[in-house]
Amino acid sequence: MSSDLSSNNEVVHEILDLFRIYKDGTIERLKGYEIVPPSIDPHTGVQSKDVIISPETGLSARLYIPKPATNPSQSHDKLPLLIYFHGGGFCIESAFSPLYHNYLNSLVSAANIVAVSVNYRRSPEHPLPIPFDDSWAAVNWAVVGGDEWVNDLADLNRVFFAGDSAGGNIAYNLGMRVGLEGLSGAKLEGVILVQPWFGGEELIGSEAENPDFVSTMRTLWRIVWPSLTGLDDPIINPNKDPKIADMGCERMLVCVAEKDLLRDRGCHYYEGLRRSGWKGTAEIVESVGEDHVFHLFNPTSANAIALLNLFVSFFN
C-alpha cells in the first residue's frame, strides 16, 4: 500500500475496490499492489529483467525474451517488439504485478516476441498526462537502443503497442502520437486495444442503463486527471478527435467483451476509425460471455486462449 494510515483520517474518495483517498492526501490501494521479481519462468522458459529508464523520475520497465532467444549458440532472426501498457485505471497494478508478469510470460512464449512492459508512474500521485508522458519516454528509450535485449533481438520495423483497459487507452493515444510525430528509426506496425477505457459526455449503448457505473467512471477520470476540462477530450473520447485518421500504424485490433460495461465504447471507437478515412486495416473481436479483462484473471479459459492465439497471429 502507498503509506501508513491514520485511524482517525477521513475518507474523501473511495472508488470501487481500487483505492481510497484520505483527507490528508494519503492514498490506500486496495488491490493491485503485489509485485513479483523478474525470473526465468519455469513453465515457458521466458526470461525477464527489470531496467530503470529514467533515474530522475523512477520510470522503469520489465523486459521479456522467449526461450529460443536465450541460446547464444544459435543464430536468430530478429523478433517483433511488443511494448505493453498495463491496465488498472491509471492508479493500480504495475508492470511487476503477478497478473501482468504471468500473462506476459505466456504471451512472449506463444508469440516468440521481445516485450517491454512499461511501469509508468500512476495517478493520483502522478496525475494524467504523466502516465502518457512516461509511456512515450519508454517507447523512445526502447527504439533508440535503450537495452541490449532490444538491440540484439528485436526487429524495429515490426513494433507493436498493446494494452488493456487504461493501458489500452495509452496504446491508442501513443499510436496517435506516432502518427503525428513519427517514431525515430522504427516502424509501428500494429496496435492492440484490449477492452480499452474510453468515455465521453454523451451516453452510448448500454451506458444509459448503468448510471452508477457511468458516474463512477466519470469520478475516476476526474481523480486521475484533475485538470480535465471535459470527457470529450480526445484522450478520453477518440471519436471527438478531428485527427482520428492519423493513427500511426498499419493494423489495428480492437478487443471487446460481451459483458464488459466498456464494450460499447470500444465498438464506438472501431466504427469511428473505420469511417474516418484511416488508411490502415482494423478488426474488432468480441469475447462472448466474458467481462472486463477476463483473460488476465482466467488465462487458461477457452476464450482467453482464443484471445491469446489471436494476438499471436496479429504479431506474426
User: Choosing from 260, 276, 287, 295, which is the catalytic residue?
Assistant: 260
- Please indicate whether residue 260 is annotated as part of the active site: yes
User: Choosing from 165, 241, 276, 295, which is the catalytic residue?
Assistant: 165
CATH fold for domain 35-315:
Rossmann fold (3.40.50)
Q: How confident is the model at residue 5 (pLDDT cuts 50, 70, 90)?
A: very low
Domain ranges of the chain: 1-31, 35-315
Q: How confident is the model at residue 203 (pLDDT cuts 50, 70, 90)?
A: very high
User: Choosing from 86, 101, 292, 295, which is the catalytic residue?
Assistant: 292
Phi-psi region of 173 (alpha: psi -120 to 50; beta: other; left: phi over 0): alpha
- Please indicate whether residue 50 is annotated as part of the active site: no
User: In angstroms, rounded to a whole number, what is the distance separating the alpha carbons of residues 130 and 132?
Assistant: 5
Q: Which residue has the higher pLDDT, 6 or 21?
A: 21
Phi-psi region of 87 (alpha: psi -120 to 50; beta: other; left: phi over 0): beta
Three cell numbers at 189? Answer: 506496425
- Please indicate whether residue 164 is annotated as part of the active site: no
What pLDDT, on a 0 to 100 scale, did the predictor assign at position 6? 46
Supply the pTM of this predicted model: 0.95
What pLDDT, on a 0 to 100 scale, did the predictor assign at position 8? 56
For the sheet containing 19-22, what is the strand order?
Answer: 11-15, 19-22, 27-29
Instruction: Provide DSSP, 95-161.
Output: TTSHHHHHHHHHHHHHHT-EEEEEE---TTTS-TTHHHHHHHHHHHHHHTT-SHHHHHHEEEEEEEE
Three cell numbers at 148? Answer: 541490449
User: In angstroms, rounded to a whole number, what is the distance separating the alpha carbons of residues 236 and 38?
Assistant: 33
Q: How confident is the model at residue 73 (pLDDT cuts 50, 70, 90)?
A: low
User: In angstroms, rounded to a whole number, what is the distance separating the alpha carbons of residues 65 and 45?
Assistant: 9
Question: Any idea how long the chain is?
Answer: 316
The pLDDT tens digits of the residues spanning 145-202 come to 889 999 999 999 999 999 999 999 999 999 999 999 999 899 999 999 999 999 999 9
Could you tell me how far CA 154 lies from the centroid of its own chain? Answer: 20
